[in-house]
Amino acid sequence: MNKFSFFFKSIKNVKDLQAATTATYLADIVLALVFFVVFLIVANAILYERGRVDNSWKKRRAAFFIIGFLTLIGSIAMNYFLYFTKIGVAAFRTKYTSTMLIAAFVAALVYFVLSFVIVRFVSPKDSKLATVFSRK
């Protein structure tokens, strides 16, 4: 049996639903970490602006919130296509819908908290990341 066969089988009993719920939360945390790495790459790729006033921090902050929103939307879409479409029992769909939404908000929360902590407290004060939450 293939170790990834769970992604392709239909969910028709409580055991499969519980496995899908656990997999949903784990996949969403991994997704939040992936989007965090994407944020780090994008924030460092945005160049400082030339001139007297540097407004590049606004672009970095916008990227922070856009990627956070994409984390939320990406989580819902991933869970919908991986698990929700494979649920065969209507009552399980209702239960999984709440799980899917909670997991999406958990993923977004992990992204925002992790990003804030790393940017605000871990990154060097003169780095591009430190400008994301600057008070200019």
pTM of the predicted protein model: 0.86
pLDDT in tens, 40-91: 999 989 888 777 888 888 899 999 999 999 999 999 999 999 999 999 888 9
* CA dist., res. 30 & res. 57, Å (int): 27
**Token representation of residue 134:** 């600057």
| Identity of the amino acid at 123 | S
- Number of Cβ within a 10 Å radius of residue 41: 10
Extents of the domains making up the chain = 31-46+64-136
